[in-house]
Amino acid sequence: MEIEREVDHDEEEVTSGSDDEDDEEEGSSSSSSSSFIPSIRIKRMEDHLILISTVVVKDVALTSDLFQLLEDEKLDIASESQYRTETRVAHTVQVIISIIDH
């Protein structure tokens, strides 16, 4: 799997996959799953807020694992949304991060 990493001074984005995934035609579940590349993006929105976006094949439990990690770390989730198609699931989560000054 290919991982791209782009960093800007205010924004960090980690991408797995390509931006063309929404342009692919959805065929049968098996053919769509084999050509689909999942993505995870993490973007700093403000000093205290990050945005986590995932798009995965519906049969993969990646986003459930992600939410379990967030709950285990007791992170403050500001908002979340979910979108489902026949073959894919997209989650977007805004997490408030605490900044500790030393």
**pLDDT above 70 (res 6):** no
Mean pLDDT of 10-27: 43
Contact yes or no for 48/96 (Cβ under 8 A)? yes
**pLDDT above 80 (res 2):** no
46-76 tens-digit pLDDT: 888 999 888 888 777 666 777 777 777 777 8
Burial 13-48 (b: 16+ CB within 10 A, else e): bebbbeeeeeeeeeeeeeebeeebebbbbebbeeee
Q: Do β-strands 88-96 and 3-7 pair in parallel, antiparallel, or remain unpaired?
A: unpaired
Structural domains for the chain: 3-96 (3.30.70)
Q: Say what the pTM is.
A: 0.55
Which has the minimum average pLDDT: 30-34, 74-78, 90-94?
30-34
